[in-house]
Structures are given as C-alpha cells and as structure tokens.
Structure 1
Amino acid sequence: MSTIPLGDPGSPASPPRGYALFALGFRPFFLLAAISGLALMLLWLWFWLSPTGFNHYSLVGWHSHEMLFGFSLAIIAGFLLTAVRNWTGIDTPTGTPLALLAGLWFAGRLLPFVPTTLVGLFVLIDLLFLPALITALSRPLVKAENRINRLFLPLLVMMAVANLLYHLEAVGLLATSRSGISLMINSILLLLIFVSGRVLPFFTDKAVTDAAPRFSKQREQAVYALFLLWALSDLLLPNSWPPMLFALGVAITQAWRLYDWHHPQIWNKPILWVLFAGLVWLVVGFLLKAMAQIGLFADNLATHALTAGAIGVTTLGMMARVALGHTGREIGANRVMVLAFILINIAVVIRVFIPVTELLSYPTCITLSAVAWSICYLLFSIIYLPILIRPRIDGRAG
C-alpha cells in the first residue's frame, strides 16, 4: 500500500499577517475540535457531578454522541477536507462554503439546549452535516484516479446512518441509539486503521533517517477481514467466543503492523510517538474487548480504551502534525505539546485501568481523567490558536 504525504514544511519567512481561518478545512475544524474537546469534557464533568439532565438526551447519551459526532467528527472533517485536496490536487471547500459547513457542525452542538419546539429543526441540522461533508468530498474523490481513496465515502455514509439511528431514539421513534453509537465507534476505528496504514509509515520514513517501514499485503488483508468479522460478530453474537477470538485477531494484526513500522528513534520524536501511542491503545483496547466478551474486564472500560485511547490520542497527534505541515512550519512538538501528549495518555490510563485497581473511587477516576483531558486540550488550544487562524508562514495558499 502506498503512503500518502500530508503537507511539507516550507521555508520560514516573516511572521504571517492577517487571518486565514477558512483558507483550508483543517483550520476551522481543528479549532472547533480543540474547543469542543475542552468544553464538552468540562460540561460532561459538571453535569455528571451535579446531574440536571437535558431536554432531549440522557446525560450518558449526550456525552457519547457529542464526543463521537461532535469532537471526533470535527477532526475527521478537518483532516479529510485537507488531505483529499492534497491527495487529489482538486480543491475542497474554502472561504464562505467552508465557513457554512463549520457553522452547520456548530449548530448541531446546540441541540440539547434548545427549546422542545425546536428539537426537530436541530435534529435535522445535525443530520445534514455528514451529507454536506460527503457532498464536499465527492467531486475530488470521484474525479481522482486513485480509487482507493473513494472508500472514505461509504465510511462517511456509515457515520451518517449511525447518526440517524441515534436521533431516531432521541426523538422517541425507535430504540436504536445504542446501535448508532456502536456503528459510529466502529466506523471511526475503521477509518483510523485505514488512514494510519496510509500515513504513519510515511511519517516514520520521513522523520527517521534509517527507518524502513515494512508493508505486507497479507497483513493488511488480515487487518480488515478480522476487524469486519469482529464488528459483525459483536453485533450478532455479543458476549460469546466468536467476537472474543476476532478481537484477539484484531489486536494481534495491529501489533504486527506496529512491529513492522517501528524504529527505536521514534521515541525521540514526540510528534511521532504520540501516533504510535494511539495505535498501542488500539491493540490494548481490542485485547480488553476480548476479555470483556467473556466477563474478565468491564466492557465500558474497554470501550474507553478504544475511544479516549485509540481515537483520542491518535487524533490529537494527527491534528498537531497536520496543522504544522500545512502552515509551512517545522514539524515538531515543543515542551507544552509534549506535556499535552503525556496528559492525554495519563487521562486514558486513569479512565481505563485505575477503576479496576480500586485505588480510587470511580467518581474520582472520572474526575481526574476528565481534568487531565481538559488540560491537554486547553494547552493545544493555546499553542495552536495562532497557527490555525494565521496564514502560512511560507506565503503559500492554504
């Protein structure tokens, strides 16, 4: 499988002037993701410690939906709107169309707080975001010669179906919200597996002088086959041996990938090791999912290893790297961002493993994990706000 670059640093010039928030997709959506990663977690913690309820969501339902269809989807949108242009050479929305797309995403986040009379309107607004994103990406993906990139379109369609399933229960029509959340998690994980296979070997080869990431067609086929078998068996035969075995298979093939891509020097480069750490959480998460299938580990904790761990850690690293590469800056992490990379992993450890030890109460674990996560995204927001809103330092468009 070929590896795909995501932007190269240019030559530093004079400090950029003016604003370029809507010059390319990663800018508004990474900023929205960072702000929502901070705000949604603090709101979740506030409401969880002193439950007041929502008009249209359960508290856990709102938290699950917003971390997936709000926070995570903003990162996915920003990444794809940027990467697809880079991969295909065909423009994706910028300027006013991009601002409108970002505004559509933001309006969907207001749903739990609007009056009952407006629920239907805001459900529709939230449901429209993914079709709008698909429309924005369809032209460059379909016109480009590389057909493999078109796989993003059915993945986004799966996410749109997942959002519909969630909202059908939220408005009292069908009891499908759990299925929607599960489908969205699996869609994001599949996208993460697909994208990491395309970009992480490239990142490693570019950052480490004597690195030689290995590709195996048989391994990649096994990765996708086992993941799809796991997702299907987990849906049809939960808490049984087949999904346990397939979860083990996913963990083993992901570990095989990391072994083939690994080089000791990656641990000297935080902007790279954070991505490897995210994929380590993918391995750990599926090992824990296998244990959960036979009652040896709490399923909700295993799920957080995949969501907060694999998705949360990997996407933080991707945002940090992509934003630097596409603004012409040197690709690296300063001490503040290294602290953020460490904090997000600490947050996942506290959320996933400390409850099992019973060293701290469950509410204390959730509180500490949420605080560590929030500090991480506060630091990211402070460091990356000027990067995301100002023009490229090399004078190029984007």
Structure 2
Amino acid sequence: MPGSVFEAGRCLIQAPHRLFFMGGLGALMVGMLWWAPVLVMRWAGMASAYPVPAIWLHAWLMTVGVFPFFVFGFLLTALPRWVAAPPVSPLIYRSMAAVLYAGYALTVVGTLAGIDFLMAGIALTALAWALGLGVLMRCVLVARAPSLMHARWSIIVTAVGCIGALAGLGALGQARQSLFAAMPTLALWGFVGPIVFVVAHRMLPFFSEPMIADYRRYQPVWSPPLVVALSLGHGVLAFNGHHAWLFTVDLPLALITGWHALRWRGWAASHVPLLWSLHMAFAWLPIAAVLSAVQSLALFAGYGAVLGLAPTHALGMGLATSMVFAMVTRVSLGHSGRRLEMDNLSVLCFLILQLAVVARLLAEVTAGHLRWLFLFVAIGAWFEAILPWAIRYGRIYCRPRLDGQPG
C-alpha cells in the first residue's frame, strides 16, 4: 500500500495539468459539498452562521476558488507550446500548486472558523494567482512563436482575475462586505467567461478541422479583444450596480459569440462526442449573454430582475463547468497516452450536467415548492455528473502514461 501511494503521488506531480486538475476536481466537489447542506438548511427554515452571507461564500468558492486550478492547469501546459517557450519548471508549478491548494483549503476552513482564516485563504489564492501570472508572462517574454495573440489575451484576462482576488481580500480587510459580494460577478464575467472564449478561439477550430469535412478555420483577430472588452464591461457595470444597462454590452456579446458558434459548426461534429461536447459547452456563452440582456432590458423597463440568477448560472454552470468538463477530458486523455475518445460514462455524465444546468435555470423562474424541486434536481444531477467523472479522471492523474512517455 505505501508503495502504491508513493507511486500515485509521484505520477501526480509529473505535469502541471495532473496536479492542478486534481486540485480543481477536489475543489469542485468540496465547494458543492459545502453548499448542499446550506440549501437543505434553507429549505428546512434553519438559520446558518458564517463570517459573511453563505451565498457570497458559495459564489466565491465556485468562481475565484475553483477555476484557477483548471485555468492554470491548462495554461501552464498549453501556453508554452503556443509560444514555443520552454516548459514550466517542475519546482515552479509544484510550488504554485501547493500555495493554491493551501489557499482553497484555508478559505473553506475560514467559512466556518472565522474571518481571519478566510482572509488567509484568499491571500494565498491571490499569491498563487500572481505567481502563475508571472510564469505566463515569462513564457511570452522568451517566446519564439510568430503569433502571440492568444497567449497575450490569456495573460490579460488572467490578470483581471488576479486583481479580483486581491480586491476581494482588500474588501474583507476593510470590512466592506458589499464589495466582497460583488467580486465573484466581476471574476465570472471579467475572467471566467473571457478566458473560456480566448481558449475556445484558439482550440475549437484546431480540434474541429481534422474532424469536420470541408472545415475552414474561423479565428478573426478582432474578436478576442472585443469579447474581452465586452465581458469586462459587463463585470464593471454589474460591479457598480448598473444592471439596467447591461444590455448595452450583452447584446453585442451575444451576437459575436453566437456568430462564432455558428461559424465553428459544432453541429457537424455529432459523430465525435469529445468534440461536440466542447461546442455544446461554448454555446452557453451566447445563451448566458442573451439571458443577461433580457433581464437587463426588463430592469430598464421597470419590471425587475425577472430571471434572477439564471444568467449567472448559465455562465458559471453552463459555460464554465461544461467547458471544464469537456476540455479537461480531452487534455487528460491526450496527455495520458490514451485514445482521444470520450467513453460512454463521460458522455452520460456530460449530458446529466446539462440537465443540472437547465434545472438550475428553471429554479430561477419558478417559485414555492417547484423552485425547491428544481434546485434539488439541479444539485442532485450535478453530483451524479461530476462525481463519477472526477473519480474516472482523478485516477488517471495518479497513474503513468500508457505510452510510457513523460508528462
């Protein structure tokens, strides 16, 4: 047993994607295991005591807490290859991962143990984020590739996320809880959404070209900066409370991302689950923008927030979690020497995840017992989708590559 544990640990630290993706899988599960009892207590009418309101902590854990693991796991693996830079040093990525693991763990502990632990966890998360940002910038500085567009925009968006983490820490330190509450929204629209678009802009045409007949890559140079600007504009407007004006950025964002979804022809990949899952995940970005625009127009017209948190969950659960699922599956298979084929279990889990997203959106437009029904269906489906998938790929990270290659 000690030998097998040692071997699993040795395999886990052999590549950035293994170490960071494993942390991300754990963070996803811990974050939702933390949230599920809160929902049950609310349904039962029981009060809960936390350093700040539980819904703000949930938003923080599932955005600023979870996604850095997956973003850095991917970028520390892929970005050096994009720019023809040397691989990231094991000492650097292992040290950074240790800080990020500790930051998430302390943040979770702080939700129960008090504000000091919470701030310590967020401080470590911000530190890991800053270290990762520095590593990515160094890759670009020594780059030998002719095009650095996707690398540069990935770094810009990652910097926005780092600023958000630092701002959240500052808000807690100054006891400005309303500012802390706004940080996850800024992180979701200013970091998570844009980084998914930039990566999709780089990878989806590349993945699709050999799999779809008569495929032509569509990667216009104007769209990454425009989408980043519009998404960040949404985050800034929401951060400042101007929700009735979000349609000014959401409508063009929906048009641009919807146009890309059409041009990337995801429907033509119906025979390749590993590819159509990526396209389906991306489709949640224009859907989220449309939902946000509808809600903004309703607020502008004086009807109130008719969709509640539906746009937020379309972006967070729909786009981000689905894209994490699909991209992590592909990267994990490719970098473990396995065939690039999504097995039936993974396909089923992905489809159940889509059911969870739809149920969560329906919970925002219903009331009473029906709302609670949809909420519990959503969280139940979420666990049914993520748990077996996380176990399946978590085991891969603790085993050597099948082809005997390093990494």
Determine if the TM-score, normalized by the shorter chain, exceeds 0.5.
yes
1:287 aligns with 2:290: yes
1:79 aligns with 2:74: yes
Read off the aligned partner of 2:103 and give its amino acid letter.
G
Give the match for residue 329 of structure 1.
Answer: 338
Q: 1:151 to 1:253 in 2, by over 3 A?
A: closer
The match for 1:203 among 199, 202, 207 is 207
CA distance in 2, matches of 1:356, 1:55: 28
Q: 1:45 to 1:213 in 2, by over 3 A?
A: same
Give the match for residue 47 of structure 1.
Answer: 38
Shift of 1:385: 2.2
**Is this contact kept in 2: 1:142–1:150, CA < 8 A?**
no
1:345 aligns with 2:348: no
Q: Greater shift after overlay, 268-277 or 140-149?
A: 140-149
Q: 1:163 to 1:217 in 2, by over 3 A?
A: closer
Give the match for residue 167 of structure 2.
Answer: 165
**Is this contact kept in 1: 2:25–2:394, CA < 8 A?**
no
Percent of counterpart pairs with the same letter?
Answer: 22
CA distance in 1, matches of 2:225, 2:95: 39
Mark the runs of 5 or more structure 2 residues left unpaired by the alignment: 1-6
Shift of 1:326: 1.6
The match for 1:192 among 196, 201, 205 is 196
Shift of 1:150: 2.5
Read off the aligned partner of 1:154 and give its amino acid letter.
I
CA distance in 2, matches of 1:53, 1:223: 39
Counterpart mapping for 1:205-220 below 5 A? 205-217=209-221
Q: 1:314 to 1:395 in 2, by over 3 A?
A: same
Q: 1:386 to 1:234 in 2, by over 3 A?
A: closer
CA distance in 1, matches of 2:17, 2:285: 24
Counterpart mapping for 1:53-64 below 5 A? 53=48, 55-64=50-59
Read off the aligned partner of 2:136 and give its amino acid letter.
L
**Is this contact kept in 2: 1:166–1:176, CA < 8 A?**
yes
Q: 1:203 to 1:176 in 2, by over 3 A?
A: same
CA distance in 1, matches of 2:95, 2:226: 40
Q: 1:228 to 1:99 in 2, by over 3 A?
A: closer
Read off the aligned partner of 1:101 and give its amino acid letter.
M
Give the match for residue 14 of structure 2.
Answer: 23
CA RMSD of aligned residues (A): 2.5
1:37 aligns with 2:32: no
Q: 1:353 to 1:163 in 2, by over 3 A?
A: same
CA distance in 1, matches of 2:219, 2:127: 38
Read off the aligned partner of 1:113 and give its amino acid letter.
V
Q: Secondary structure at the match of 1:294?
A: helix
CA distance in 1, matches of 2:276, 2:108: 37
CA distance in 1, matches of 2:62, 2:340: 27
Q: 1:377 to 1:162 in 2, by over 3 A?
A: same
Counterpart mapping for 1:1-398 below 5 A? 19-50=10-41, 53=48, 55-87=50-82, 88-94=84-90, 96-109=91-104, 110-114=106-110, 115-116=113-114, 118-145=117-144, 146-148=147-149, 149-174=151-176, 175-186=178-189, 187-217=191-221, 223-224=227-228, 226-235=230-239, 238-240=242-244, 242-262=245-265, 264-295=267-298, 297-357=306-366, 361-398=370-407
Shift of 1:104: 1.3
CA distance in 2, matches of 1:207, 1:111: 42
Q: 1:392 to 1:281 in 2, by over 3 A?
A: same
Q: 1:226 to 1:205 in 2, by over 3 A?
A: same
Q: 1:107 to 1:38 in 2, by over 3 A?
A: same
Shift of 1:231: 4.4
CA distance in 2, matches of 1:359, 1:182: 26
**Is this contact kept in 1: 2:86–2:139, CA < 8 A?**
yes
TM-score (norm 1): 0.87
**Is this contact kept in 2: 1:354–1:360, CA < 8 A?**
no
**Is this contact kept in 1: 2:31–2:62, CA < 8 A?**
yes
CA distance in 1, matches of 2:120, 2:233: 37
Shift of 1:287: 0.6
Q: Figure out how many residues of one structure are paired with residues of the other and give that number.
A: 380
Mark the runs of 5 or more structure 1 residues left unpaired by the alignment: 1-16
For residues 362-395 of structure 1, the C-alpha deviation after alignment (integer angstroms, 9 at most, x for no partner) is: 2222221112111211111222123212222222
